[in-house]
Amino acid sequence: MYLNNFEAKDKICEFTISLSKSYSDSYKKSCNFSELESSHIHPTELSTLALKEYIKRYPIPTGSIHMSQEIEVLNKIPYNSILLCEVILESSKKIKDRKIVVLTTNARNKKSKIVAVSKGTLMVPLS
């Protein structure tokens, strides 16, 4: 069963992500954000890259539903930043034939300061 080896508040994994200007430009274009002028990373870009890295390590089971995503950027994140992301299991609760999983990702800059927090909620099958 998904993430059964972890308990609430356990760190699931840690990884770094690189937020390059060229990737950011492509991301903005693909999301129709290209009209936004900014010298900083768009919050959904950060969340998308972090989710991509997380899924490499812990693939989400077939039949899962991504129920919600909250992103709070605490400090502007400039282009070409490298962030250390730590994924924590906030909670996991069985409901009938499903499990609701809440994951928090803390993104830290090179000074170890948390610059963004993302919280995602998944509904995954029990089997």
Kindly provide the b/e burial profile for residues 68-84, where b requires at least 16 CB atoms within 10 angstroms of the residue's own CB. eeebebeeebeeebebe
- Check residue 83 and give its pLDDT: 97
Q: What is the pLDDT of residue 15?
A: 98
What's the pLDDT at 35? 63
pTM of whole model > 0.85?
Answer: yes
Query: Mind listing the pLDDT tens digit for each residue in 31-52?
Result: 877 666 677 888 888 888 999 9
pLDDT at residue 20, rounded to an integer: 87
Give every residue of the chain whose pLDDT is below 50, as ranges.
Answer: none
Determine the Cα–Cα distance for residues 40 and 33; give it in Å rounded to an integer.
Answer: 13
Instruction: Calculate ∠ Cα 58-20-53, nearest 5°.
Output: 0
Domains and CATH numbers, the chain: 11-125 (3.10.129.10)
Q: What is the pLDDT of residue 94?
A: 95
Calculate the dihedral angle through the C-alpha atoms of 97, 117, 31, 38, rounding to the nearest 10 degrees. Answer: 170
